[in-house]
Structure 1
Amino acid sequence: MTLGSGEMFVRAQVHPGRQDELNELNESFNQMVEKLHRLIDEVHTSELREKELVIKQRETMLKSMQAQINPHFLYNTLEVINSYAILENVMPISRMATSLAALFRYSITNDSEKVSLYEEMKHVQTYLDIQKERYEHLTVQLQWSWDDLRYIQTLRLTLQPLVENVFRHAYEKHERYPEYIAIQGEPTPKGYRVTIIDHGGGMDASVMEKLNLAFRSSSETEYSLPGKEHDEDHRSGNVGLWNVHQRLRLSFGEPYGLYISSSSSQGTCMEVQLPAIIGGNEDAKNDSC
């Protein structure tokens, strides 16, 4: 193999005992290659440490925000609200107080970040229960097998931000009433696919293409995400998607993460690929948006 073949760490042939100029040149070349190899390893190690530092800083910030709320005070307050609501027979308030308590309890639990999809879906269902109280005509369709979810792995608070993103950016941003959201789950040969569907305003084809390109790339920076500086809300939504994708990709590797299969003025279909805890399912369905 030669250097011209594109192999960066090819070695020149050195003949032991020979003292000619060509042999010395080959030895110098090999030393240069070894030094280059060490430098690349050092740069890679430095980048990994920098990324770990950024993740730790974000985790510290999240924990700091969580610590600002005394959970016992919050739960006791919600319990009082729930009690008064029951006494006055105002059941919508009772349901919202109970759901809100469950929502906060899941959000600030200090358990392992990795959870089963069953736990995360229960949390999403609680979040949607609150939204259904807010939006009387909201249609919610949930299609999956609860038994399947116990064997699928995800991270705490990955799906709920995506569902929340639907209300903020698919509906509120386009000044539309939240009328429909569906969440479907199905096994795939690679693990499990969760699909989130809405009937909101969607996004431009160019934005969808750039997001999917970012999701497919090996880059771990958000600078290539679509969104103009004057539209900070738009960009924050894209960054939110990117953060969820990166958390999944860093924890589980490829091919796990997000993919937007379609988006238009009629709505958006987003897919989340997750790994199975124990093996996969060869009887996967092939249908999607």
Structure 2
Amino acid sequence: MRSSLAARMFAYFVIVIVISSSIVGFVLYVQSSKEVDKQTNELLTQIVDNAMNHTDMYLKKYDRATLSMLTSTNVKEFLNTDKNNFVSYFLAIRPIKEKVIQPLFINNPEISMVYLIGYNGLSIYDHNTDVIDFNQSVFQDKLDVLKKMTNNDGKLTIMDWSFLDGKLAVTRKISDRQTSKVFKGIVGIELNIEELTTLWKGIRLGETGYFYIVNDNGKIVYHPKAEMIGKQLNEGLLTKLKENQNRIFTYTDGIERVHFNQRSNYSGWTLVASMPLNELKAPVKNIRKTTLITCAFALVLALILAYRFGRSIVQPIKKLESGMRRTEKGDWTHVAISGRTDEMDRLIVSYNMMVSRLQELMEQVYAEELKNKEYQLKRQAAEFQALQLQINPHFLYNTLETIVCYAVVQDSQEIKEIVRSLSYMLRYSIRADLEEITVANELKHVLQFMTIMDYRLGHPFELEVLIPPELLLKKMVRLTLQPLVENIFKHAFPEGIESYHRIRIDAYTENEDFVVTVTDNGCGITPDTLKELRTKLMKQHLHSPFPERKEREGGIGLVNVHSRIQIVFGENYGLSITNNEGEPGTKITLRMPDKTGDIGFSP
């Protein structure tokens, strides 16, 4: 089953478009997903970092507040007071409250209570809000617990319980000397947790994302849901937090959520940002959906354009094919052009001109043979050839020979010479078995061309052939000289051919090379055009022997001659172009290997 050109072209277009669209879509989706994940990671890291820095800075304020108590003389005397000396104890309470505790309340209104518990069995406390009084002995009851839970290095400790409900407690061990590590008491501050939560309420993590804080024991210090504060975090989640410090991980507790956490070395708290996985992946899903829709739309549009493009190419070819089939059957059919003036239209125009000329030629042959029955057999042979070899160069050659016969009969010397020369040139051109030819044969081809040109010009134009006789049997590439001479007639004499115009062909050997030059005294080549021609010759190499279409439309062309020499003799040989030094005109040089042979040719 034969597949049509249109179907193959459309299939190729589909394959190319699908592959390219898939690659672009896949790369775009993967790269976009990576960028979204990267930005999400950076966002969560920045949120947690900022929250941790603000929290540490806020807590350090109370670190500085407790340091003021360490330098107080009244506090030092209180720590060294004998618990049985009630007079000294009661005398110490007032100045400590007025000079130490009250300034803390004034500077930090969020502090609810400040207490000082000595290891000597004495304690002092004061509060900044309406607090139900409780027995002061509770401080001594909790002294052992406070000693155990408060850091032994004298640094601030954040407790996970407080004497007042709903308060955040910080404690510190103190001594009667600032540099001493022999502690004699504990100072504690309890503050409203609501004041601290104002640092975190501005954090937004999507619609259902949230930010929370837990201490090392897994107790929730802060949570957007007030009822969660003070509760114990899920043991499995707490373990994952400790195992994945500074990393994003997922944890499923009802729904799959993404967590990112960092632990503050100062406070010992772990700050956690949590978002649902499906909400986090929503941008990626949107990118994937958008990419698929865009690719699908682009694919449909590209397929429509591919179909129209393929059809615009195939339709003229089908019309040309149909015309050829009808011509094969003897119906000299002209193919209608589309009117786009592109390459296909030019091909159709050339085909129509060829059909018209063949038709005219056949009509002339038929008319002449009908006049003379002597040529009936030849007419039938010509008709048979026309049916069998409609567009065959050999058929054209045979037809030209027939015209020569008629010219002889009609005693038309001019027609005979023109057609005989054209016939020779045609047969010489279509020979595919002789790439290397002698210089003599190539010059004979040039002379046949000049015979035609003399009739076209209306007067003789003599070539100067200065090739020594001993070089006439040197080998060169067939169809190289005549295109150069034709090119000179086309471009070197734009104002018309005058009597002083000349074309000179010369040859010589140089080292192991055989060199042929064709020189004219015409208008020469402009520098820009010369540069362009040299660039084309440099780009042309052995494995790309076919010149651009622009060259082929003007004839065999200089690039084609250059390519033919390289095909036969190799890339070290070819054609070069220069302007004549000190005089008008152009010089074209053909360089080939120095070979001599007995190649023959019969027209």
| TM-score normalized with structure 1 length | 0.58
Q: Determine helix, strand or coil for the equivalent of 1:78.
A: helix
User: SS of 2:586's equivalent?
Assistant: strand
**Contact 2:575/2:591, CA 8 A, preserved across alignment:** yes
Q: Is structure 2 residue 521 aligned with structure 1 residue 199?
A: yes
> In structure 1, what is the equivalent of residue 478 of structure 2?
156
2:464 corresponds in structure 1 to 141
Superposed counterparts of 1:99-138, under 5 Å: 99-135=421-457, 136-138=459-461
Residue of structure 1 aligned with 2:594, choices 259, 276, 279: 276
RMSD: 3.7
Task: Report the Cα distance in structure 2 between the residues aligned to 1:239 and 1:151, rounded to whole angstroms.
Answer: 23
Residue from 545, 548, 558 that aligns with 1:241: 558
| Secondary structure, counterpart of 1:266 in structure 2 | coil
Whichever of the two has the greater Rg, that structure is: 2
Whole-angstrom distance in 2 between the partners of 1:67 and 1:251? 32
| Structure 1, unpaired ranges of 5+ | 1-64, 280-289
Counterpart code for 1:243: N
Of 73-82 and 181-190, deviating more is 73-82
Matched, 1:165 2:490: no
2:512 is aligned to 190
1:99 shift after superposition: 1.0
3-state SS, counterpart of residue 505 of structure 2: strand
CA distance in 2, matches of 1:238, 1:97: 20
Q: 2:497 aligns with which of 177, 190, 200?
A: 177
Q: Which residue of 516, 523, 530 maps to 1:208? A: 530
Aligned mate of 1:68, from 385, 391, 414: 391
Contact kept in structure 1, 2:437 and 2:477, CA below 8 Å: yes
Q: 1:103 Cα shift? A: 0.7
For residue 463 of structure 2, give the secondary structure of its aligned residue in structure 1: strand
**1:253-268 superposed matches below 5 A:** 253-262=570-579, 266-268=584-586
Tell me the distance in 1 between the aligned counterparts of 2:515 and 2:559.
18
Tell me which residue corresponds to 1:15.
none
In 2, the alpha carbon distance for the partners of 1:99 and 1:239 equals 19
How many residue pairs match? The answer is: 204
Q: 1:124 to 1:146 in 2, by over 3 A?
A: farther
Equivalent residue number for residue 252 of structure 1: 569
Q: 1:114 to 1:96 in 2, by over 3 A?
A: same
Q: Deviations over 1:240-269 (max 9, x none)?
A: 212221221243235421112315993211
For the residues of structure 2 that align with 1:124 and 1:90, how far apart are their CA atoms?
23
Alignment correspondent of 2:278: none
Change (3 A) 1:211 1:93: same
Q: Residues 35-75 of structure 1, C-alpha deviation per residue, up to 9 Å, x if partnerless?
A: xxxxxxxxxxxxxxxxxxxxxxxxxxxxxx9993252x434
Q: CA deviation at 1:139?
A: 2.9
Give 1:143's aligned amino acid. L
The separation in 1 between residues aligned to 2:404 and 2:469, in whole angstroms, is: 29
Q: What amino acid does structure 2 have at the position aligned with 1:140?
A: L
Q: What's the TM-score once normalised by structure 2's chain length?
A: 0.30
Q: What corresponds to 2:159 in structure 1?
A: none
Gaps of 5+ in 2: 1-353, 355-388, 598-603
1:78 pairs with 400, 419, 429, which one?
Answer: 400
Q: Deviations over 1:207-242 (max 9, x none)?
A: 2244335545786699xx9x9xxxx96896699212
Cα distance in 2, alignment partners of residues 122 and 167 from structure 1 = 18
1:252–1:89 CA distance, 2 compared to 1 (3 A): same
AA of the residue aligned to 1:271: T
* Per-residue deviation, residues 86-111 of structure 1 (Å, max 9, x unmatched): 34443222111211111111111231
CA contact (8 A) 2:404 2:415 kept: yes
Return the alpha-carbon distance in structure 2 between the equivalents of residues 108 and 67 of structure 1: 16
**Higher relative contact order structure (alpha carbons within 8 Å, sequence separation ≥ 6):** 1
- Does the C-alpha gap of structure 1 residues 235 and 125 become closer, same or farther in structure 2, counting only changes over 3 Å? closer
Work out the CA distance in 2 between the residues paired with 1:188 and 1:259. 16
Contact map agreement 1:118 1:146 (CA 8 A) in 2:
no
SS at match of 2:482: helix
Paired amino acid for 1:203: I
**What is the one-letter code of the residue matched to 1:270?**
I
